[in-house]
Structure 1
Amino acid sequence: MEPVTLTTERLLLRPFAPADTDETFAACQDPDIQRWTTVPSPYAPEDAAVFVQRIAPGAWQDGTEYAFAVRLRTEDGEGPLVGAASLHHPQDDHWEIGYWTAAEHRGRGYTAESVLALARWSFRELGCTRLEWRAEVGNTGSRAVAERVGFTVEGTLRAALVNKGVARDCWVGSLLPHDLGLPSRHVYLPARSASDVTPAA
């Protein structure tokens, strides 16, 4: 896919570029990002360079991941790097979303704003019919963002997230197009509860 840029009221989401390398390295020194995401730990300048300059653009080209640098919008264009958000692990019409936020920009609603923009783009432009969120059990910050955007937390999956060589339990949730008032490629027929089902005679 050709790279695209998304904008919100306060943010600009665009594919990572070489100019993002230093700020990505600085943000990923945060212990919480290293603890709760799959970025390497310790995180070296070379890790940022490889991701920004090789991994991210390569994934855009082959359609396996769409990673966005999230920056503040300014009158002149771009402000500082706020964080990152990406769509990855495509399977049929389903995608998974991931994100991190630089420590100094947390608590201002930027992450929820960027996740919502990316969710709308996935439904409208990628034909996504289910957007999935996963986070290791205990990552309450990530869960708060997901719930604020409108994800339904569906449960806990055992050993479903491997981070730094360790299989960990994770929460899983989903967002569907109709949750945001958008049309879907498929008609959705929710399962009826057991109490609504009439046993066969």
Structure 2
Amino acid sequence: MEPVTLTTGRLVLRTVGPADTEAVYAAAQDPETQRWISQFPSPYLREHARQFTEQFAPDGWADDSMFTFGVFLPSGELTGMLGITMRSLGVAEIGFWATKEHRGNGYITEATTTATRWAFTALSVDRIEWRAEVGNTPSRAVAERAGFTIEGTLRSAINNKGVRRDCWVGSLLPSDLALPSTAPYLPAPPQPPHPTQPT
């Protein structure tokens, strides 16, 4: 797929390229970002940023495997990053982070709402998952504000720099945004309480 550009009232979501390498490198120096983003090497070097902007992001668009958006102000300043990765038929996973200087402004929530709506309408996706290491409350707050339903905790589901950790998982469905699904969805009926086992 050719990269697309999405806009909101305050933001421009576009793919990244070589001209964005320095901005990505600078933003990735934040210790909080390195702590919570499991895919981030630590230390994060310029070569990592260059590989991301010149290979990883373009390749994802080219083979329809991952759709990476830099989240920019109209002035061109980077406020964060967002990616939608295809996981299986009709299922994608979203990940995002904000630059230190622009946290607390609602930019990533706004970008997430825009990008998920695009994914449902352009990618034939019927479920978008969000995952974050338990304790990453800012990421969870963004997901919840964007309409995700938190479904639970997965044990040992994230490998963060060689350490397996528990993660929260949530989902967003087209119906949560009043959009149609590409395939019919039949929710499970309410289940009776599990009988208590004798002790």
Which TM-score band applies after superposition, normalised by the shorter structure? Answer: over 0.9
The offset of 1:65, in angstroms, is 0.7
Residue matched to 2:58: 57
Letter in 2 for 1:14: R
The offset of 1:181, in angstroms, is 0.7
- Is the deviation greater in 27-36 or in 84-93? 84-93
Residue matched to 2:144: 147
Report Cα offsets for 1:27-80 as digits up to 9, x if no partner.
00001110000211111111101111111111111111111111012xxxx420
What is the root-mean-square deviation in Å for CA atoms of aligned residues?
1.2
The offset of 1:89, in angstroms, is 3.9
The offset of 1:104, in angstroms, is 0.5
Q: Matched residues in 1 for 2:64 and 2:173: separation?
A: 21
How many residues of Structure 1 are paired with residues of Structure 2 in the alignment?
192
Q: Matched residues in 2 for 1:161 and 1:86: separation?
A: 17
Q: Matched residues in 1 for 2:191 and 2:46: separation?
A: 54
SS at match of 1:79: coil
The offset of 1:90, in angstroms, is 2.5
Residue matched to 2:20: 20
Runs of 4+ residues over 4 Å off in structure 1: none
The offset of 1:189, in angstroms, is 1.6
Q: Matched residues in 2 for 1:159 and 1:95: separation?
A: 20
1:41-190 alignment to 2 at 5 Å?
A: 41-73=42-74, 78-190=75-187
Unpaired runs of at least 5, structure 1: 197-201
The offset of 1:195, in angstroms, is 4.5
SS at match of 1:194: coil
SS at match of 2:188: coil
SS at match of 1:187: coil
Residue matched to 2:197: none
TM-score after normalising by structure 2: 0.94
Unpaired runs of at least 5, structure 2: 194-199
The offset of 1:194, in angstroms, is 2.2
Q: Matched residues in 2 for 1:90 and 1:9: separation?
A: 30
SS at match of 1:162: strand
Q: Matched residues in 2 for 1:84 and 1:178: separation?
A: 25
Q: Matched residues in 1 for 2:155 and 2:64: separation?
A: 28
Residue matched to 2:8: 8
Letter in 2 for 1:81: L
Q: Matched residues in 2 for 1:92 and 1:11: separation?
A: 30
| Percentage of matched positions with identical amino acids | 55
TM-score after normalising by structure 1: 0.93
